[in-house]
Amino acid sequence: MEIKKVGVLGAGTMGAGIAQVCIQAGYNVVLIDIVPGIVDKALAGLDKAWAKAIEKGKATAEAVANYKTLVTTSTDVNDFKDVDLVIEAIVENIDVKKKAHKQLGEICKPEAILASNTSALSITEIAAATNRPDKFVGMHFFNPVVVMKLVEVIPGIVTADETTQTVLEVARKIGKDPVLAKESPGFIVNRILVPYMNEAANVYQEGIATLEEIDKAMKLGAGMPMGPLELADMVGIDIVLAVCEFFYNEFGDSKYRPSLAFKQKVRAGHLGRKTGKGFYDYSK
Catalytically active residues, by annotation: 119, 140, 152, 190
Contacts of ligand 3HC in 85-124 (CB under 6 A): 119
Measured from the CB atom, is 36 or 147 closer to ligand 3HC? 147
Taking CB under 6 A as the binding criterion, the range among 26-34, 61-69, 129-137, 141-149 that sits at the site for ligand 3HC is 141-149
Asked if 201 interacts with ligand 3HC (CB under 6 A), we say no
Q: Tell the smallest beta-carbon distance from residue 6 to ligand 3HC (Å).
A: 19
Taking CB under 6 A as the binding criterion, the range among 95-103, 130-138, 231-239, 245-253 that sits at the site for ligand 3HC is 231-239
Q: Which of 39, 115, 193, 203 binds ligand 3HC (CB under 6 A)?
A: 193
Q: Tell the smallest beta-carbon distance from residue 38 to ligand 3HC (Å).
A: 17
Q: What is the 3-state secondary structure (H, E, C) of the chain?
A: CCCCEEEEECCCHHHHHHHHHHHHCCCEEEEECCCCCHHHHHHHHHHHHHHHHHHCCCCCHHHHHHHHHHEEEECCHHHHCCCCEEEECCCCCHHHHHHHHHHHHHHCCCCCEEEECCCCCCHHHHHHCCCCHHHEEEEEECCCCCCCCCEEEEECCCCCHHHHHHHHHHHHHCCCCCEECCCCCCCCHHHHHHHHHHHHHHHHHCCCCCHHHHHHHHHHHHCCCCCHHHHHHHHCHHHHHHHHHHHHHHHCCHHHCCCHHHHHHHHHCCCEHHHCECCCECCC
Q: Tell the smallest beta-carbon distance from residue 231 to ligand 3HC (Å).
A: 6
Taking CB under 6 A as the binding criterion, the range among 33-41, 130-138, 142-150, 198-206 that sits at the site for ligand 3HC is 142-150
Asked if 26 interacts with ligand 3HC (CB under 6 A), we say no
Q: Would you tell me which residues interact with ligand 3HC (CB under 6 A)? A: 58, 119, 142-144, 146-148, 190, 193, 225-226, 231, 235, 239
